[in-house]
Amino acid sequence: MKIASFNINNINSRLENLLGWLAVAKPDVACLQELKARDMQFPRSALAAAGYGAVWKGEPTWNGVAILARGAEPVLTRDALPGDDADRQSRYIEAAVNGIIVACLYAPNGNPQPGPKFAYKLAWHARLEVHAEQLLDTG
Sign of the alpha-carbon dihedral angle for 112, 65, 90, 127: negative
CATH superfamily of 3-107: Endonuclease/exonuclease/phosphatase (3.60.10.10)
Domain ranges of the chain: 3-107
CA distance to 18, 65, 99, 119, per residue, from 39 (Å): 18, 10, 25, 28
Confidence of residue 61 (pLDDT cuts 50, 70, 90): confident
Q: What is the mean pLDDT of residues 109-116?
A: 91
* Backbone phi and psi for residue 136, each to the nearest 5 degrees, phi listed first: -65, -40
* pTM of this structure: 0.95
The answer to whether residue 37 scores a pLDDT higher than 90 is yes
